[in-house]
Chain A
Amino acid sequence: MLQNIAAGFAALFTWENILFLVMGTLVGLIIGALPGLTGNMAIALMVPITYTMSATTGLVFLTSIYCSSIFGGSISAILLGIPGTISSFATTLDGYPMAKQGKAGMALGISTISSVFGGLFSAIVLMFLTTVLAEFALKFGPAEYFAVAVLGLSCIASIGGKSITKGLLSGFIGLFFAVIGQDPQRGTKRFVFDIHLLGGVTLVAALIGIFGVISVLKNAEKKSKETGPIPEVDKVWIGWKMCRKLLPTWLRGSIIGTIIGIIPGAGTNVATFLAYDTENKFNRSEPKFGEGNPKGVAAPEAANNGVTGGSMVPLLALGVPGNATSALFLGALLLKGLTTGPVLFTEHADVAYSLFLAFFFANVVMAPLGLFILRYMKKILSIPESLLGGIILAFCMTGVFSISSSSFDVLTCIFFGVLGYAFYKFDIPTAPLIVCLVLGSMAESNLQQALVANNQSYSFLWTHPIALVVLLIALVSFFVPIISKLVKSTRKARHPNTVTAGDLAEDTSDEMDDD
């Protein structure tokens, strides 16, 4: 093992590799930060460039793009309130409010350090536990996938805002949009009035519509009334005290990210939702989640970079890519004549271990580079919002168009922008819609598959131990926030005059919301 690591070091540390490591990190950061452009896209375009490189250099380059693009997504999520990819969607929920409160620097700093922590954690797991964990991935049948999807969906109870009804309404609308497209098991076309909808609604287009278009509309509306002061941005470095405070959050986020990342197909999206939701439930500190809590940025960012290493586990051990990005890595490996699986560790140990180390050092390089670039990037906020709006819209539309050079995606984006604006006007939260849109079809497809495997009997719900446990956690996760909201509101109704300090903030906003 030590010998292999030493061989990996030797293979990794050449001038060429270090150059590509830094370059890849920069490319990833910038691509990730632009809404609509994803690391996946960047890697797909870079794979042909790696044909001419040595196997190690090629993998180092792709790895650094992968890691930093996931982190880069948090930049636009925090500064502009637009998640460039679904994996940075949860970061928006607290990152953007923090930026609005003049803590943009702090939010970006937290996102940097959290991403690095999650990435390093998963790199270490990848290095030492790949073969053990790969067996875990095989345990996931349709029943287990269904349970994980339901667990993800259960988040809507706590991120659904103050009104249970409005949260559920948003969730159901999301599930409706998730139904559009071909029935995954029977092939029946559902609401496919245009051929572009055959594969369902383009998630990224919808996401950018809801967050991008709406943030521009909101600003336009506000600007026509008043011009607020430009929010202050503070330091990017968050200090050791904050690091210590966030350590438990990082650990939980990284573990969730790495484990979920291992399950092929479930990937990044579920991991960030779950990490955010878990922290939300553990959280006792102020301000509340959704109002700019640092932990709300730390958890999903640690998780989505945790996924990077996790998603490579099934690829390296089983030859099965965990998500779309690791599928591109598979292509790059194959083109070099390398086979995946245990053979890679025995016959090409230097390549395998330099890949592990590349994951490690890509994250190490990310911290100084990220903190350095962000010092300048946060200046975006000093552009007056009225001017920024147009630029944001142009970037959003270009990004959406670039997904598959389709003008239909642009229309989808505009449609969801208008829908999001309507939600905003009626004070309906948009987060449940996104969660349901992303996870709805995964839940549906796997439920149907599980039923086929079990002769149309629902007994799999309790005969598969993993599925059973996950489903029970999902039940608790769904009903606890709802019950506690109900209890609070009845208590309030009974004792209208006795208000605890913690409830105070909520009470005032409740009145605004409900009236």
Chain B
Amino acid sequence: MKKILALILTLVLTFAFASTALAAFPEKEVTIVVPFAAGGNVDLCCRIIADEMTKILGQQVIVDDRPGGGAIIGQTYALGQPADGYTMLALTSSFVTNILSGDTDFGMENATAIGQFCFDPEIVVVGVDSGITTIDEFMAAAKAGALTNSTPGFSTSHHIASLILTETFGLTPFAYMHTDGSAEQVVQLAGGHAQCGMTTYGGAATLIAEGKIIPLAVCNSERHQALPDVPTMAECGYDFVYGAYRGFAVPAGTPEDVVNTLSDALKQAMESEAVIKAFNDSGFPIMYLNAADYQKMLDEDYKNMEAIYYLLDEE
């Protein structure tokens, strides 16, 4: 009798669980973990998208900022959550560099990509006092001797972009001045305290418009829509694409249909009028990649970064 009872109970439970698994995802609110401070660029992007995804998924999508430890704290937290799709991580370039730094408990295999929503290409810029006006002059000067290069901090994507640029074109290593954030970085360039730097459009927009910072070339396959007169690196004969990418990922092991639901919702959100307008106004270039393409991009980035990581360790 007991055995039969146990069997029935097991069956009932199995069906109960099966039915919850079959129930449409999501059944409760979805959290986006942002491993950076509230009000930053990544946080801002995520809040815009979260509003739209809430409408699409029919469940609240919440942004949870967990800054600190060079984004490692938030990344570790998000990837440590159950692999059920209810916790997404805002995954940026720092994910790859953090893994290479050896400070993380997680690896590339612990995250499954949902999709990319933004690619912000690096722009090679100089201060107006540097006397440099074209990318060719810049390359010649950077080969001849060390230029001072202002960054928003050690191992930030702008710093890494400069390191890769140096490596790719055999430039003299820059004399780096690592400031505390992009506000200080652009002031150093505009004030003539440093000669050159790499930056994304948003942080330097006003100083570029005022002619205090000169954009030389965009590190992307196409021109920047806000800077139609600035050539791409490739147009000038330097094949070089690099930028800050932003997307979402979930802990590895999340069911495939859940990944697809989230990925589709992200796609729909990025095609919505509200998101397109908010992104354009804020100067975040939209570039959607689906789960498979984003995963491929991440794996490639890991390989590229692995090859140049010794440059960061050396300094």
Assess the A44–B281 pair: CB atoms within 8 A: no
How many contacting A-B pairs (Cβ < 8 A)? 153
C-alpha spacing A40/B39, complex, angstroms: 9
B161 to A: closest C-beta gap in Å: 16
Whether A327 contacts B176 in the complex (CB less than 8 A), given A265-B183, A341-B210, comes out as no
The segment from B184-192, B236-244, B263-271 that touches chain A is B184-192
Whether A340 contacts B39 in the complex (CB less than 8 A), given A195-B103, A196-B69, A331-B44, comes out as no
Q: What are 28 A-B pairs at a CB distance below 8 A?
A: A41-B38, A44-B39, A137-B191, A182-B154, A184-B154, A185-B154, A187-B155, A195-B73, A198-B69, A198-B72, A199-B69, A264-B183, A318-B206, A319-B205, A322-B183, A324-B39, A334-B202, A334-B282, A341-B209, A404-B37, A404-B66, A404-B68, A405-B66, A406-B73, A442-B180, A449-B179, A452-B176, A453-B148
Residues of A within 8 A of B205 (CB): 319, 339-340
From 237 to 287 in chain A, residues with beta carbon under 8 angstroms from any chain B beta carbon are: 264-265
CB contact between A320 and one of B51, B153, B187 (< 8 Å): that residue? B187
Assess the A334–B206 pair: CB atoms within 8 A: no
B124 to A: closest C-beta gap in Å: 19
Q: Report the nearest B residue to A319, measured CB to CB.
A: B206
Is B11 on the interface with A (CB-CB < 8 A)? no
Is A10 on the interface with B (CB-CB < 8 A)? no
B33 to A: closest C-beta gap in Å: 10
From 426 to 483 in chain A, residues with beta carbon under 8 angstroms from any chain B beta carbon are: 442, 445, 449, 452-453
Assess the A138–B190 pair: CB atoms within 8 A: yes
Residues of A within 8 A of B175 (CB): 452-453
Is A380 on the interface with B (CB-CB < 8 A)? no
A432 to B: closest C-beta gap in Å: 23
Is A336 on the interface with B (CB-CB < 8 A)? yes
Assess the B70–A198 pair: CB atoms within 8 A: yes
Is B223 on the interface with A (CB-CB < 8 A)? no
Assess the A327–B184 pair: CB atoms within 8 A: no
C-alpha spacing A320/B44, complex, angstroms: 17
B49 to A: closest C-beta gap in Å: 12
Known: A335-B278, A452-B177, A453-B148. 20 other contacts (CB 8 A): A44-B43, A47-B39, A48-B51, A51-B278, A138-B187, A184-B153, A184-B178, A185-B176, A187-B312, A264-B187, A320-B183, A320-B186, A320-B207, A327-B40, A341-B206, A341-B209, A341-B210, A343-B209, A404-B37, A452-B148
C-alpha spacing A186/B188, complex, angstroms: 19
Assess the A453–B315 pair: CB atoms within 8 A: no
A311 to B: closest C-beta gap in Å: 10
C-alpha spacing A136/B163, complex, angstroms: 32
C-alpha spacing A418/B168, complex, angstroms: 52
Q: Report the nearest B residue to A202, measured CB to CB.
A: B68
CB contact between A449 and one of B40, B65, B178, B181 (< 8 Å): that residue? B178
Residues of B within 8 A of A139 (CB): 191
Is A292 on the interface with B (CB-CB < 8 A)? no
Is A73 on the interface with B (CB-CB < 8 A)? no
Is A45 on the interface with B (CB-CB < 8 A)? yes
Is B64 on the interface with A (CB-CB < 8 A)? yes
Residues of A within 8 A of B43 (CB): 44
Assess the B39–A327 pair: CB atoms within 8 A: yes
Is B224 on the interface with A (CB-CB < 8 A)? no
Residues of A within 8 A of B155 (CB): 187
Q: Report the nearest A residue to B191, measured CB to CB.
A: A138
How many residues of A are in contact with the other chain, CB < 8 A? 55
C-alpha spacing A320/B152, complex, angstroms: 13
Whether A265 contacts B180 in the complex (CB less than 8 A), given A182-B154, A195-B72, A318-B207, comes out as yes
Residues of B within 8 A of A45 (CB): 38
Is A141 on the interface with B (CB-CB < 8 A)? yes
C-alpha spacing A28/B179, complex, angstroms: 30
C-alpha spacing A442/B73, complex, angstroms: 24
Bitwise, B129-158 to A at CB < 8 A (1) or not (0) is 000000000000000000010000111000
C-alpha spacing A336/B282, complex, angstroms: 8
Whether A319 contacts B70 in the complex (CB less than 8 A), given A48-B51, A140-B191, A337-B281, comes out as no
Is A31 on the interface with B (CB-CB < 8 A)? no
Residues of A within 8 A of B204 (CB): 319
Is B246 on the interface with A (CB-CB < 8 A)? no
Residues of B within 8 A of A44 (CB): 37-39, 43, 65
C-alpha spacing A121/B67, complex, angstroms: 35
Binding site for A on B (CB under 8 A): 37-40, 43-44, 47, 51, 64-70, 72-73, 76, 103, 148, 153-155, 175-181, 183-184, 186-188, 190-194, 202, 204-207, 209-210, 212, 278, 281-283, 312, 315
Assess the A405–B188 pair: CB atoms within 8 A: no
Is A314 on the interface with B (CB-CB < 8 A)? yes
Assess the B38–A453 pair: CB atoms within 8 A: no
Assess the A331–B282 pair: CB atoms within 8 A: yes
Whether A406 contacts B206 in the complex (CB less than 8 A), given A187-B154, A331-B282, A334-B282, comes out as no
C-alpha spacing A445/B181, complex, angstroms: 12
Assess the B177–A406 pair: CB atoms within 8 A: no
Residues of B within 8 A of A453 (CB): 148, 175, 177, 193-194
A453 to B: closest C-beta gap in Å: 6
C-alpha spacing A211/B276, complex, angstroms: 47
Q: Report the nearest A residue to B104, measured CB to CB.
A: A195
Is A97 on the interface with B (CB-CB < 8 A)? no
Q: Report the nearest A residue to B50, measured CB to CB.
A: A48
Assess the A318–B282 pair: CB atoms within 8 A: no
Please provide the 7 A-B residue pairs with the shortest distance between their CB atoms, ordered closest to farther: A319-B206, A141-B193, A44-B38, A341-B206, A138-B191, A449-B177, A328-B39
C-alpha spacing A202/B67, complex, angstroms: 11
C-alpha spacing A187/B186, complex, angstroms: 21
B88 to A: closest C-beta gap in Å: 16
Is A321 on the interface with B (CB-CB < 8 A)? yes
B73 to A: closest C-beta gap in Å: 6
A310 to B: closest C-beta gap in Å: 14
Residues of A within 8 A of B210 (CB): 318, 341-342
Is A175 on the interface with B (CB-CB < 8 A)? no
C-alpha spacing A238/B107, complex, angstroms: 62
Residue in B65, B68, B180, B204 with the greatest tally of chain A CB atoms within 10 Å: B68
Assess the A265–B184 pair: CB atoms within 8 A: yes
Q: Report the nearest B residue to A40, measured CB to CB.
A: B39
CB contact between B68 and one of A43, A318, A406 (< 8 Å): that residue? A406
C-alpha spacing A453/B149, complex, angstroms: 9
Residue in B64, B66, B69 with the greatest tally of chain A CB atoms within 10 Å: B69
Q: Report the nearest A residue to B127, measured CB to CB.
A: A138
Assess the A336–B281 pair: CB atoms within 8 A: yes
Residues of A within 8 A of B72 (CB): 195, 198
Residues of B within 8 A of A183 (CB): 154
Assess the A405–B64 pair: CB atoms within 8 A: yes
C-alpha spacing A453/B281, complex, angstroms: 36
Is A142 on the interface with B (CB-CB < 8 A)? yes
A493 to B: closest C-beta gap in Å: 46
C-alpha spacing A265/B188, complex, angstroms: 12
B76 to A: closest C-beta gap in Å: 8
Q: Report the nearest B residue to A322, measured CB to CB.
A: B183
C-alpha spacing A458/B86, complex, angstroms: 55
Assess the B73–A404 pair: CB atoms within 8 A: yes
Assess the B178–A195 pair: CB atoms within 8 A: no
Assess the A198–B154 pair: CB atoms within 8 A: no
